[in-house]
Amino acid sequence: MTSEFVISFAQEAFKITMMVSAPMLIMGLIAGVAVSIFQAVTSINEMTLTFIPKIVAVFVSLLIFFPWMLKIMINFTEKVIINLPLYAK
């Protein structure tokens, strides 16, 4: 194994991780900003109010994007398993 291979493999794994986690993180961010704006407009300063919308947003985005996320992870795993003999050299 060369250092170029290890670096490229780590880059690919990092890219996959970012792609798979991005939809949930973005939806959580949008829900958090929306609740924060709502709290600022209505002067409600309840800290626990932000948790439920964020949890719901992340769960809904997981339901929506799960087939796509699963496809990405399966493709990466298949690529690793197929090329395993090349990695062992």
The model's pTM = 0.81
Written as one letter, the residue type at 18 is M
Domain residues of the chain, as ranges? 3-88
Residue 89 has pLDDT above 80, yes or no: no
What pLDDT, in 10s, does the model give residues 40-84?
A: 898 888 888 889 999 999 999 999 999 999 999 999 999 999 988
pLDDT for 4-40, tens place per residue? Answer: 888 999 999 999 999 999 999 999 999 999 999 998 8
